[in-house]
A and B are shown apart, each in its own frame.
Chain A
Amino acid sequence: MQEILTAAFVLQTFRISIPYLLPSLGAVYSEKGGVVNIALEGMLLSGAFAAIIGIYYTGSVLTGIVCSLLAGIIVSILHGLITITFKANQIVSGIALNIFAFGITKFFCKLIFGSSSNSPRVIGLESWGLPFNPFLLICVLILIITVFAINRTKFGLRLKAVGQNPEAADSLGISVSKMRYMGVIISGALAGLGGAWLALDQHSFTDGMSAGRGYIALAAMIIGKWKPTGAALACLLFGLAESFTLQFQSSGVPTQFIQMLPYLLTIIVLAGFIGKATPPAADGIPYEKKD
């Protein structure tokens, strides 16, 4: 048993958790403001693709990361436009955007690299002499900022207000759509950043490389009961489970079981077996201004 708890194992768990954690924290912003963001998957994928494009053309990792943020933001603005401005169904918009992202990344991959499946290898992130990937530090930082922003700032309170009771917030002069847009855009940026991690870790883009991580991130946020720390812990739990299967593949625990775990846990939590999971009251409901 001691053999498992090596530094390598812990680092692997963290590495696997990163692409869950970033979109999951993003989902907290979006859903606290009242917009269900199932488009995380597509944002993750677009972020990964944009990162590779950025690095491919400029040779700079930083540009790649900036591109991934922008890509995430563009998809999130689309999601905002459809769900906040045009008040369409948030789930439908999210799914449409996921399919959109899958198609458009393939399309441009083909256009730019001549293959709809794979990009050539690009440079990745230097470790700057650290024993672990510097991305980890960024993640911890974002987690701390998120906890603080959601619970302790005016912005966080307003965001929660438009997610809980948009009428009341509106009557106090808070612009509901502005706050919701901000939540969705932050979630897009974070999901895009998660995509950048995927791309940098692999040094290339593969079509559909997000591989359902966006959905797992959403599940983690639900298990974490719409709280940043809860979401982070759930992501870590999923990372741990996955890392465990990789280490013990031949030990008898079927991989299929572990892969099913996040979804199973989500159902259990939603069914109310582990405490009460209450989403923000106005989550998923477009706000119609009444005169």
Chain B
Amino acid sequence: MKNFLLIFITIFLFTSCGKKENNTVTDKSKIKVGLVFDVGGRGDKSFNDAAYRGLEKAKQELGIEYEYIEPGPGAEREAALRQFANRPDISIIFGIGFIFTDEITKAAIEFPDKKFACVDYTYDSAKTLPPNLVALEFREEEGSFLVGAIAGLMTKTNKVGFVGGMESPLIKKFQVSYEAGVKYVNKDCQILIGYAGVTGDAFKNPGKGKEIALGQYNDGVDIIYHASGVTGLGVFEAARETKKFAIGVDSDQNDEAPGFIITSMVKAVDVAVFEVIKEVKEGSFKGGRAETFGLKTNGVDYAYTEKNKNLIPQDVRTKVEAIRKEIIEGKITIPVK
């Protein structure tokens, strides 16, 4: 009897952990979007929240409806995609994050009538994309290069840091281009590198992020750039505690630690999500292609607003803007590996 009770409780818990966001009444004429978040989940004040802003904007301006799922680690991601793909009322499904690359390709092949879009899709030019999938890529290296230049110009200790989430080709790209940006303006600057782990959970470990950052600050680093999702919130805590600087990623993260975040490498994930939904609504959606967002189209940028203006000196701003021009004109080649 007792064992029965336990088994019952366990099963109940497993099944009750479904995280579905229902968005009320269904209207047949309305387009319904299904979106599956990355490991960090909604509320990461970064990457996933940027995608969410895109959804909200589409809801208000295009009058669409949406549902989202915040999957846990592991196989739940694929299940979430399938769950949406099996629903007749949902017409487009988003996967947010490079971690969806394989799963969303499989799902797109299996459900040819549905449209799919994947942010940060790891595009392999040797393979063809399914005709109902659009890969949204960002030139993070261009934005990272710019914030690297800002860090290189602004460091007083000649030591800057980088904290990455999961050690993976995508995050390596952030790191390498950031390093290149630092070195471009400041040859002798030393760069300390730290990663929070080798699995998806490394994007979700602020405790560890804080310790890595404290270690780097303690070693004389005065500016840290993070590309680590929620883990980066720990980096900001460390910046607050030691009164040093940090650079945010994906969204403008200024509000997380005002006065301590010089700038953020902004990825227009919201714009990308919005544009794709708009295409679906207008019937101009075309899959089987990769769309790239770079400095040229403001797909990536560094944050420079009323809030952080006073943290970036005018001469730094001028130099960085000059570098931006050079990148757009193709005068600088940025390493990605």
Q: Which residues of B contact A208 (CB under 8 A)?
A: 72, 201, 204
Please, how many angstroms separate the alpha-carbon atoms of A110 and B69 in the complex? 12
User: Which of B6, B42, B70, B204 is within 8 Å of A82, CB to CB?
Assistant: B6
Q: Are B205 and A211 in contact (CB under 8 A)?
A: yes
A4 to chain B, nearest CB (A): 11
**What is the CA–CA distance of A92 and B4 in the complex, to the nearest angstrom?**
11
A273 within 8 A of B: no
Would you call A266 an interface residue if the criterion is a C-beta within 8 Å of the partner chain's C-beta atoms?
no
Given A202-B207, A208-B204, A256-B198: A96 in contact with B2 (beta carbons within 8 A): no
| CB pair A117 B40 closer than 8 Å | yes
Report B240 CB to chain A, min CB distance, Å.
9
Query: Which of chain A's residues have a CB closer than 8 A to the CB of B206?
Result: 202, 204, 206, 209
Structural contact, A89 and B3, CB atoms closer than 8 A: yes
- Cα of A31 to Cα of B19 in the assembled complex, Å: 36
Q: Nearest chain-A residue to B207 (Cβ)?
A: A202
Q: Is the interface of B mostly helix, strand, loop or mixed?
A: helix
Instruction: Find B198's partner among A6, A103, A255 (CB 8 Å cutoff).
Output: A255
- Residue A87 interfacial (CB < 8 Å): yes
Contact A118–B207 (Cβ < 8 Å): no
Q: Is the CB of A88 within 8 A of B194?
A: no
A157 at the interface (CB under 8 A from B): no
Considering only residues 216-233 of chain B, those with a C-beta below 8 Å from chain A are: 218, 230, 233
Q: Is A250 an interface residue (CB 8 A)?
A: yes
Within A235-283, the residues touching B (CB, 8 Å) are: 243, 246-247, 249-250, 255-256
Q: How far is the CA of A82 from the CA of B1 in the complex (A)?
A: 12
> Which residue of B is nearest A202, CB measured?
B206
Q: Does A86 contact B (CB under 8 A)?
A: yes
A8 at the interface (CB under 8 A from B): yes
Could you tell me the distance in whole angstroms from the C-beta of B35 to the nearest C-beta in chain A? Answer: 14
- Tell me if A16 and B19 are in contact (CB < 8 A): no
Partner of B19, one of A93, A106, A113, A249: A106
Partner of A117, one of B17, B43, B210, B234: B43
Contact (Cβ within 8 A) B10 A206: no
* Chain B 27-68 interface mask (CB, 8 Å, partner A; 1/0): 000000000000011111100000000000000000000000
Contact with B along A129-152 (1 / 0, CB 8 A): 000000000000000000000000
Chain A residues near B13 (CB, 8 Å)?
96, 99-100, 103
Q: Is A32 engaged at the interface, CB distance under 8 Å to the other chain?
A: no
Q: A180 near B: Cβ within 8 Å? A: no
B233 near A8 (CB under 8 angstroms)? no
B interface residue numbers (CB < 8 A to A): 2-3, 5-6, 9-10, 13-14, 16-17, 19, 40-45, 70, 72, 193-195, 197-198, 201, 204-208, 210-212, 214-215, 218, 230, 233-234, 237, 256
Known contacts A12-B215, A118-B42, A204-B206; 10 additional CB pairs below 8 A are A87-B2, A99-B14, A115-B43, A117-B42, A121-B233, A121-B256, A201-B210, A202-B207, A208-B204, A209-B205
Of all A-B residue pairs in the complex, the 7 with the closest CB atoms, nearest first, are: A117-B41, A115-B43, A118-B43, A88-B2, A103-B17, A115-B42, A8-B218
